Every structure is written in C-alpha cells, then in structure tokens.
C-alpha cells in the first residue's frame, strides 16, 4: 500500500544492473572435484579452484560440496566456503525439513557429476532426462558473487521466480528476474517487487520438476536463448551467501506433485478461518469513524454481503502505529463500530506497519516501550537505525532480537484489547520490505521528514464526536470522546507531537497524565545527525557493541551498496528506499544478507501476536512482503496495482504464481485497482474476477474516487451475482484450502496442471482452475462484451445453465457477455458440494442447505470431496470429511461426520442426463423413491433429497 503521493517526492535512483558477456563467465576455469566420498544417501567433495576468474572479485580457492538424497523425490546440494563462515538463511526463518536418507537407487532423480572441470547434473532416474545441468558453465564463487547456470530445453516452460507481474510462463529471451524486496508502487512489469521466492517449476511433456535456491541475498536470475543454440539457459547471479539448492523430482504425469513436494520443503499453508473467505472492504482514505460506519451500512442497503470491514492507516494519530486519532477515530466510537459488526456476524481488520515513530521525549509510546527492551534495528555503531515512513522519523523492530516478538505481542494485546481497545479479528501488515521514504543516502531523516511533510496533516475537519452512526444515536461514552484517552489502554491518541506537530489541532493530542511533559517533542528532538540520533542507555550501547564483537560473518572490505555485481534493483542501489544494507541485527547479521526476510519475519511475529490475543482460534494476517515459506503463516495481497485493464489481467498470473508455485494460497489483488480512478465497466469485471480468488478484497487509494461496489448499479449487480456464486462455492473453496494445508495441492492452478500433455495450455494465464473443478475464463479485453478462451479436449458444463459443453482443444468465443456475468465451467468428472443459495454473512451461509452437482466426465464418472469443521479453531476436535463418487448412474456419499453440519442435502443435480430417470435413495440398506424432474434443454436431472447431511447414503438412477 501507499507510496502514493510520496512515491516520487524525492530523487529516484534508477536501476544500474551489471552486464557482462556470458561467454566471459563461461570461460572461467571453474573447479576440480577432489576427495569425493559417498556414504549411503550422502556425497561430499572438495572443489579446488583451477585458476583465477576474478570477474567479480577473487574466487574462493577451495569449496565444500555436500549432496544428500533427502527423500525419494528431493536432492539437496550445498556448496560452501570451509575456510570462513558465510551467511546462510537462518533455520529460525526457514526451517529445513528432516531428511529420510533415501538410498540413491530408490530415488526418482539422481545426481551425477564430472570431476574436471567440475559440473553436475540432476537427471530423471527412469529416463535419464537432464533436468538441471551446469555442463559447460563453470560455478563461480567469490565473496560477493555466486553464479550457477544450467541448460534447459529450447523455449522452456518456466514458472515462478517471483514476486512479479510478468506472464505466468516466464519469457525466455533476454529476460532478467531480480529478487530484492522493494516498495513497488504500481507493481510494474519486469521489475523486482515486494517478495522473493527463488523457486521455479519446469514443465515439459515428459514431466514437471522444481528447483529451489535457498538464498535471501539479492540476485538476478537470467533466462535467455543463446543465438545459434537449441537451448534455454537459466543463470543465477547472487551477491552473497552460499549455494544451497533443492531439486524436486515432481512427476511425469501429475504437475500437482511438484507443488506438494515444494510444500513439504517450504511448509504447508496455514488454515484460515471460514469467515476470511467472505468479502472484505477497505480504503486508504476513510477520513473518520463516520465514513467507516457509513460504508458498512451502505453495503447492507445495497444487499451486497460484506463480511469484513478494514481500516487503513487513516485511524492513526499522525500515522503512528498503535495509536488512534481521538478527533477522527475516538476509541469509544471505534469500539461501537466493532461491537456493531460482531453483533451482525461481521468482522474487523486494521492496518499495522512495522515502522515505529521515533519519539525520544515520550514516556508512553511504542517507541519508549520498545527502547526499554532495545528491540530496534541498529546502525553499525550500536545506535538505533532510523528511516522515514508515514509518521516521520522511525525505527524498525529487529525480528532477530528475542525480545522483539514479545514486544510486538504486548503491543497487540494492549492496543487491540477486546475490553479496552479495538477488538480486531485479523491483521493487515504493510510497508514491510521494509519500505522507507528516506532518499539515499539517508543521513538526515529528520530534515527529509520536513521536506516531505511527514507526517502529512489531515485536510478535513473532524466530525462531531456525537454523530449518530448505524441509524442510531451516539453512544453514552461518545459525547465525551474528545476528553477520553483510555488511560488504562494504549488505544488512545498518542501523547506527543511528532515532527510537524505544530500544525495539529490541540484537541488531537491526548490529555492523559503523560501528555503535559511529553508534548514538548518537536522537530529539534529528532533532527540530530545520523550517528547519534537515537537516545540509548549506556547499557544498550554496551549490548550493541558486544553483539558486533560476536558477529560471526565478516563483510570487511566489501561494498554493501554497490557490490562488484549489481543486481537490477528498480530502486537503484541496495539501500535505496529501504533500510541500509549495513543496518545490524541483534545476532550480528546485517540487512545486506537478511533484507529479503524482513516481511516474512514480521509476518511470523504478527501471527503469534494475533494468536496470543485469542488463544486457540485461527486468525487472518495479510502481508505485502513475503519470502519462501510465508504461506505457512500468512496470506498475501498482490500490492499497489492501478485501476487499469492491464493490472486486471496481470492479477491472474499473480494469483497463479502465489497459489500454484509459492504455496501462498490465501491471495488476491486489490479489486477494481488501488491507484488511479476505476471505471464502472472495469470495476464490474473485476468484482466478478475477484470473487474467484481465495482472498477477496476491494481496496483503493485516498487519491482515487471511491469504488465500493454499491457506487454503480452495474457494479453492484455484478458483485451480487459473483458473490452469490462464490458463497455457494465457499465450502468447495474451504475444502481446497484445507487440502492445501494437508499436502500443498494448489487451490488455484493453470490449465496445464489438469492437462499436462496439451502444449496449447502451457502459456495460458488468462484462464485458470479455481479449485480442482471450476474453470474461470473471464472477459479480459478493455470494455469488451465477448471473450475467446481455450477449452481442452474434455467435457465441461456451463456453470450458469449446467448444459454440457464439449471441448475440442480449441478456442471458443462467447458473445454478449454482459458486465454482470463471468464465464465459468465445471470440469467433467466432478462432484461439487454447493450451498443452494448465497447469504449475507458466512455465518448465515453455514445454516444453508447443500445441493450436490454431479458433472460426469466422458467416461460417466465423477468424484469430489467436502471438508467441514467449526471454521475457527486452530485444533479441531471434530471434523467432517466426505467423499463423493458417481459411476454407473449411482452416486455414493461416504464419510466421517464428526462435525455436525446442521443442514440438509436438499437436492442432487445430475448433469448431462439425456433422458428422464427415476431415483432411489438408500440409507443403511433402506430404500426410498425420490421425486425427480428433468430439464431437457440443459440435460439436468433434479433429484429432491431432503435428508440430514450427516450420514452415508446412495442415490441410484434408473
């Protein structure tokens, strides 16, 4: 969210990537393998430098190679410098899986090597097909440069290496994918964005496999098709760390297997609460509690089911985290809003940024409490590192500090206290690349705060604190909200003035006992030079020095901003618009190595803080910056997009990347676009497309027109239509998300996952499968009312009419697709457990009966699943798991019904029925004839069932 108006307020450092002719690097002498030793599943060797390369620094003369067959489908290869300690991604951030030491002869992939010059290959054991081979490309290993390069088939089908807004299948001609987290306003195509997932899937008609490079340093990954060759090359160029690679065998027939194998490695996705699958509404620009309440009411009046209301940083006093502005968002009125939502079975989510306002003269502030524990990121000299974010001069939690997560949990427990604060149901974390507005070199953040007018001042007058909301009168406590400060809670306006506080109305400042002395904070208080800016006790300075002395990794003599090889960072030098690369953590690690981990570490701390608030209950945390494995804790939104048709289209590839490759299934884009002004047609189309993302949220910027779905008649109707379908499918989606948490099966996937031998599907990223059985083929051209899409050679059923559609492996064109509908098809061979209708809340939906839609494939068979639980508990004592199978005109429903669904199976609908049939229900051997109607044109049998959904049964058609 939010670079917004400040995006280009300061000088911008353009990308300055290093280019060198690949033939120069390929001419390097490389290494020889010596002292090769094998023992069971493990191989070790020394790699001895054959001669100097020196293109990007002096090569390390002797390396250590370790190869392990960790499972029958995974090989782990690691190359390190045995003479010095180099940075590796800590286990605390990315936990390595426990290997089972598979005998190599039992593995489905194998490691082979050539000793001189050393090269290695990963082969598919059954066919000896090369999956990854360094071949004639020597490994280069220097202090600030690593290079590994492989040859792939010509025009390779490579997916992943995100986060990005490029096509889902990556370009293979002169293409560079850069990994270095940045605040990527506008999520531009062809650049590094917020997150880093150095994993790719390589799909071929002979199978699908994966490669994961476990390294959090900045890197360029280059794909190219060298002139005159019949290959695609893939080359890693990394500015530090070690070579730590995992090779996943995948499968020769089922691409889902490689996703599951990556989930075994990176961590299976976290379960989410059932309510989180409803519609979410947010805006950066709700100016007061009145705006927030009005939006809730207006959704209800428009009969659009709003599940969760969100509030951006607007609620904060001077944009300071863990504060409320007492004039615009007084505690009593905010609590009234939350109480109203909860009384109506709705939820509330608020924004929390990592940057904490630097307030050295305030005794009662997040800064003071964090400083007491010394939890902030530091300069190399031990003082607190300072940057510039929305509240002005800021510090950042150091997530490697063992006191940082308890501090964060305590702030959440206080500010979001259900009894005295704001009782949120989920958390939204942003700006955690970490983003800084300070223009490099950031030597005087206080002066830059003045120049950039940070924090920005409000441009509207505060509402009357007694303003009635929800059609009622002000609460008993609201009339005194200007004087109320929740003295026992941190859920009040902060009690000091920030950099530009002289222009803040006096009534915005807390009148608590601490404010009289604290309110003297001023520009001068935060304008000291960089080296001595932070007020730190002698004890803290001593601790900082001790940690530096214990630092295990030396970067002496290395350039941390412009290393010999400079990656294609769109922000410029590595420290631009973020924490400096020499910023130092509690354990001695520096941002140069750990930068890409910051968002995921904040995610882990925030999830723990939320779970501590409500022990035993699932939570929803949505983050912007991610690293490999983030989905095991949080969900993700796709960042600050624009209200353009291009971004609408790009959101599909972004969804596929997160759900299919990176194992972050709880994902979605800002529907209708974040920045710039949407249009009625675009917002209507996006409302429908967004309904088929696991995470569905309408969100936009304060500089854009309002775009809540009820603003336009067409959009409102499109939203109602799409949400009705989504809510009917919600248990189907919930089942898919549960399956992902069990084994990593993707919640949404490209067509080639279902049709891996159909080369026509390999490049499609404007259609996708939502769950295993629903094909989404949205209109994607600007303002169009027709769409051409691909239907594989298979049977499908139109979701709206339920009529059969025979795919022939060709494009199909639909005309007259109005702006309140979206083309959907059910894949033949599926049984869908649907609610018979949507509802205004997910709680009401769970009290709605089911219908089972049987969509037989060409072989007359169909299968499906349903998983159900209470929707909120971390540990489920009772669950229901049902398998559906249809064959020979018999539908069998079998399962374990531990969790009572409390509803009926109202009907069964069998598709593709060419003639009327009778139906007999059988439960525990007892038969009963059922009422059946036949719709001739769509060829649908409607079977009235009307039994409690809590037992095995069969329906036989005859």
pLDDT range class, residue 476, cuts 50, 70, 90: very low
The ranges assigned to domains in the chain are 22-253, 354-405+431-456+561-616, 734-957
User: Residue 603 contacts by C-beta under 8 Å, 6 or more apart in sequence?
Assistant: 429, 432, 621, 623, 626, 630, 633, 634
**What span, in angstroms and rounded, lies between the C-alpha atoms of 283 and 706?**
8
CATH number attached to the domain at 354-405+431-456+561-616: 3.20.20.80
- pLDDT at site 480: 35
Q: Phi/psi zone of residue 320: left (φ > 0), alpha (ψ -120 to 50 degrees), beta?
A: beta
Please compute the mean of the pLDDT values over residues 907-916 and round it to a whole number.
97
Please compute the mean of the pLDDT values over residues 203-225 and round it to a whole number.
98
Record the tokens describing residue 809, joined without a space.
Answer: 């492996």
Alpha helices, H only, 445-495:
445-451
- pLDDT at site 473: 53
pLDDT digits (tens, 9 = 90+) for 347-396: 999 999 999 999 999 999 999 999 999 999 999 999 999 999 999 999 99
pLDDT digits (tens, 9 = 90+) for 478-503: 333 333 333 333 333 433 323 222 23
List the beta strands (DSSP E) in 836-879. Answer: 850-855, 862-868
The answer to whether residue 279 scores a pLDDT higher than 90 is: yes
**What span, in angstroms and rounded, lies between the C-alpha atoms of 782 and 568?**
32
Q: What percent of the chain has pLDDT over 90?
A: 89
Cα distances from 48 to residues 52, 59, 148, in angstroms, run: 11, 11, 16
Among candidate residues 401, 375, 377, 400, the one with its CA nearest the CA of residue 389: 377
The answer to whether residue 517 scores a pLDDT higher than 90 is: no
Record the tokens describing residue 813, joined without a space.
Answer: 């064109």
**What span, in angstroms and rounded, lies between the C-alpha atoms of 487 and 510?**
10
**What span, in angstroms and rounded, lies between the C-alpha atoms of 334 and 296?**
13
**What span, in angstroms and rounded, lies between the C-alpha atoms of 773 and 796?**
10
The answer to whether residue 804 scores a pLDDT higher than 50 is: yes
Tell me what percent of the chain is helix, strand and coil, each rounded to the nearest 5. 20, 30, 50
- Do residues 597 and 217 touch, judged by C-beta distance below 8 A? no
Annotated catalytic residue within 220, 430, 670, 731: 430
pLDDT digits (tens, 9 = 90+) for 16-25: 678 899 999 9
- pLDDT at site 812: 97
Q: What is the DSSP letter of 821?
A: -
SS3 state at 318 = helix
Secondary structure in 3-state letters for 299-318:
HHHCCCCEEEEEECHHHCHH
> pTM of whole model > 0.85?
yes
pLDDT range class, residue 136, cuts 50, 70, 90: very high
**What span, in angstroms and rounded, lies between the C-alpha atoms of 810 and 769?**
17
Strands 243-251, 74-80: pairing is antiparallel
**What span, in angstroms and rounded, lies between the C-alpha atoms of 398 and 583?**
10
pLDDT digits (tens, 9 = 90+) for 440-471: 999 999 999 999 999 999 999 999 999 999 98
The answer to whether residue 527 scores a pLDDT higher than 80 is: no
pLDDT digits (tens, 9 = 90+) for 754-787: 999 999 999 999 999 999 999 999 999 999 999 9
What does the mean pLDDT of the chain come to? 91
Burial class (CB in 10 A: 0-12, 13-18, 19+), 337: buried
- pLDDT at site 75: 98
Active site residue 430: yes
Q: Which CATH class for the 734-957 domain? A: mainly beta
pLDDT digits (tens, 9 = 90+) for 81-100: 999 999 999 999 999 999 99
pLDDT digits (tens, 9 = 90+) for 24-78: 999 999 999 999 999 999 999 999 999 999 999 999 999 999 999 999 999 999 9
Record the tokens describing residue 625, joined without a space.
Answer: 């910056």
pLDDT digits (tens, 9 = 90+) for 397-445: 999 999 999 999 999 999 999 999 999 999 999 999 999 999 999 999 9
Annotated catalytic residue within 59, 398, 425, 433: 433
pLDDT digits (tens, 9 = 90+) for 832-856: 999 999 999 999 999 999 999 999 9
**What span, in angstroms and rounded, lies between the C-alpha atoms of 584 and 600?**
18
**What span, in angstroms and rounded, lies between the C-alpha atoms of 473 and 956?**
59
- pLDDT at site 110: 98
pLDDT digits (tens, 9 = 90+) for 546-596: 333 334 788 999 999 999 999 999 999 999 999 999 999 999 999 999 999
Same fold, 22-253 and 354-405+431-456+561-616: no
Burial class (CB in 10 A: 0-12, 13-18, 19+), 103: exposed
Annotated catalytic residue within 183, 640, 731, 765: 640
Q: Which residue has the tokens 């960072």?
A: 569
- The CATH architecture annotation of domain 22-253 reads Sandwich (2.60)
Q: What percent of the chain has pLDDT over 70?
A: 90
**What span, in angstroms and rounded, lies between the C-alpha atoms of 322 and 315?**
10
DSSP one-letter string for 365-394: SHHHHHHHHT-B-B-TTSSBP-EEETTEEE
Chain centroid to CA 957: how far? 45
- pLDDT at site 519: 30
Q: Which residue has the tokens 């069969």?
A: 954
- pLDDT at site 703: 96
- pLDDT at site 5: 36
pLDDT range class, residue 472, cuts 50, 70, 90: confident
- pLDDT at site 101: 83
The answer to whether residue 8 scores a pLDDT higher than 90 is: no
SS3 state at 219 = strand
The two counts, helices (H) then strands (E), for the chain are: 17, 47
- pLDDT at site 506: 29
- Do residues 144 and 553 touch, judged by C-beta distance below 8 A? no
The answer to whether residue 803 scores a pLDDT higher than 80 is: yes
């Amino acid at each position: 969210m939010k670079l917004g108006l400040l995006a280009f307020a300061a000088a911008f450092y353009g990308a300055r990537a290093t280019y060198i002719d690949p033939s120069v690097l390929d001419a390097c002498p490389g290494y020889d393998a010596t002292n090769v030793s094998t023992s069971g599943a493990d191989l070790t060797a020394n790699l001895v430098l054959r001669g100097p390369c020196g293109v990007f620094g002096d090569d390390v003369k002797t390396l250590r190679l370790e190869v392990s067959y960790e499972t029958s489908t995974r090989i782990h290869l690691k190359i390190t410098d045995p003479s010095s300690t180099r940075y590796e991604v800590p286990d605390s951030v990315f936990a390595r899986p426990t290997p089972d030491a598979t005998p190599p002869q039992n593995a489905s992939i194998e490691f082979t090597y050539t000793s001189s010059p050393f090269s290695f290959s990963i082969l598919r054991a059954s066919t000896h097909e090369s999956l990854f081979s360094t071949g004639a490309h020597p490994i280069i290993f220097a202090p600030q440069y690593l290079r590994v390069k492989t040859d792939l088939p010509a025009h390779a089908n490579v997916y992943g290496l995100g986060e990005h807004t490029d096509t889902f299948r990556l370009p293979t001609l002169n293409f560079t994918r850069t990994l270095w987290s940045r605040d990527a306003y506008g999520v531009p195509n062809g650049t590094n964005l917020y997150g880093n997932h150095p994993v790719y899937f390589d799909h071929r008609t002979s199978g699908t496999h994966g490669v994961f490079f476990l390294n959090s340093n900045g890197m360029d990954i280059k794909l190219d098709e060298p002139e005159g060759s019949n290959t695609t090359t893939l080359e890693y160029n990394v500015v530090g760390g070690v070579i730590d690679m995992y090779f996943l065998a995948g499968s020769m027939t089922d691409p889902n297997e490689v996703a599951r194998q990556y989930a075994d490695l990176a961590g299976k996705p976290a379960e989410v609460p059932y309510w989180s699958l409803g519609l979410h509404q947010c805006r950066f620009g709700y100016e007061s509690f009145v705006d927030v309440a009005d939006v809730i009411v207006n959704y209800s009046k428009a009969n659009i089911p709003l599940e969760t209301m969100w509030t951006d940083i607007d609620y904060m006093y001077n944009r300071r985290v863990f504060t409320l502005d007492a004039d615009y968002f007084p505690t009593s009125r905010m609590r009234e809003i939350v109480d109203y939502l909860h009384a109506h079975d709705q939820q509330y989510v608020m924004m929390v940024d990592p940057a904490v306002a630097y307030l050295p003269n305030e005794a009662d502030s997040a800064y003071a409490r964090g400083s007491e524990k010394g939890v902030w990121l530091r300069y190399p000299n031990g003082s607190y590192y300072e940057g510039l974010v929305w509240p002005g001069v800021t510090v950042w939690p150091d997530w490697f500090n063992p006191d940082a997560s308890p501090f964060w949990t305590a702030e959440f427990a206080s500010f979001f206290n259900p009894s005295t604060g704001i009782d949120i149901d989920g958390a939204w974390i942003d700006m955690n690349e970490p983003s800084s507005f300070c223009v490099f070199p950031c030597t005087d953040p206080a002066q830059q705060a003045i120049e950039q007018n940070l924090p920005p001042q409000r441009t509207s007058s505060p509402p009357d604190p007694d303003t009635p909301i929800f059609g009622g009168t002000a609460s008993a406590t609201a009339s005194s909200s200007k004087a109320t400060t929740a003295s026992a809670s941190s859920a009040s306006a902060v009690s000091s003035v920030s950099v530009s506080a002289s222009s803040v109305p006096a009534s915005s400042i807390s009148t608590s006992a601490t404010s009289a002395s604290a309110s003297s904070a001023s520009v001068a208080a935060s304008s000291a030079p960089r080296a001595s800016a932070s007020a730190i006790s002698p004890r803290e300075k001593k601790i900082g020095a001790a940690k530096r002395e214990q630092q295990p990794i030396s970067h002496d003599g290395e350039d941390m901003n412009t290393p010999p090889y400079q990656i294609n960072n769109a922000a410029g030098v590595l420290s631009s618009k973020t924490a400096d690369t020499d910023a130092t953590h509690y354990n001695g690690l520096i941002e140069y190595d750990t930068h890409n981990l910051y968002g995921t570490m904040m995610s882990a701390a925030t999830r723990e803080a939320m779970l501590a608030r409500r022990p035993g209950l699932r939570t929803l945390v949505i983050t912007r910056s991610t690293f490999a494995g983030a989905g095991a804790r949080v969900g993700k939104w796709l960042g600050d997009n624009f209200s353009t048709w291009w971004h609408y289209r790009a959101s599909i590839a972004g969804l596929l990347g997160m759900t299919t490759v990176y194992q972050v299934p709880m994902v979605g884009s800002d529907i209708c676009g974040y920045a710039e002004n949407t249009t009625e047609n675009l917002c209507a189309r996006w409302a429908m497309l967004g309904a088929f993302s696991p995470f569905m949220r309408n969100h936009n910027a304060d500089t854009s027109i309002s775009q809540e779905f009820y603003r336009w008649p067409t959009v409102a109707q499109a939203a109602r239509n799409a949400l009705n379908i989504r809510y009917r499918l919600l248990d189907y989606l919930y089942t898919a998300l549960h399956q992902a948490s069990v084994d990593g099966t993707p919640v949404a996937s490209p067509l080639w996952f279902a049709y891996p031998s159909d080369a026509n599907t390999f490049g499609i990223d404007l259609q996708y499968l939502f769950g295993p059985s629903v094909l989404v083929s949205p209109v994607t051209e600007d303002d169009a009312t027709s769409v051409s899409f691909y239907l594989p050679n298979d049977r499908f059923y139109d979701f709206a009419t339920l009529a059969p559609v025979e795919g022939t492996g060709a494009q199909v064109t639909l005309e007259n697709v109005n702006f309140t509908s979206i083309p959907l098809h059910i894949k033949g061979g599926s049984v869908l457990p649907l609610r018979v209708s949507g509802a205004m809340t997910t709680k009401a939906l769970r009290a709605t009966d089911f219908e089972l839609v049987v969509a037989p494939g060409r072989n007359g068979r169909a299968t499906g699943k349903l998983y159900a639980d209470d929707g909120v508990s971390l540990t489920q004592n009772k669950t229901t798991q049902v398998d559906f199978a249809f064959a020979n005109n018999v539908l069998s429903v079998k399962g374990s019904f531990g969790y009572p669904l409390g509803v009926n199976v109202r009907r069964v609908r069998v598709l593709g029925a060419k003639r009327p049939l009778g139906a007999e229900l059988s439960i525990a051997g007892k038969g009963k004839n059922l009422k059946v109607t036949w719709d001739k044109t769509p060829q649908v049998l409607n079977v009235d069932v009307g039994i409690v959904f809590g037992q095995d049964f069969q329906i036989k058609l005859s």
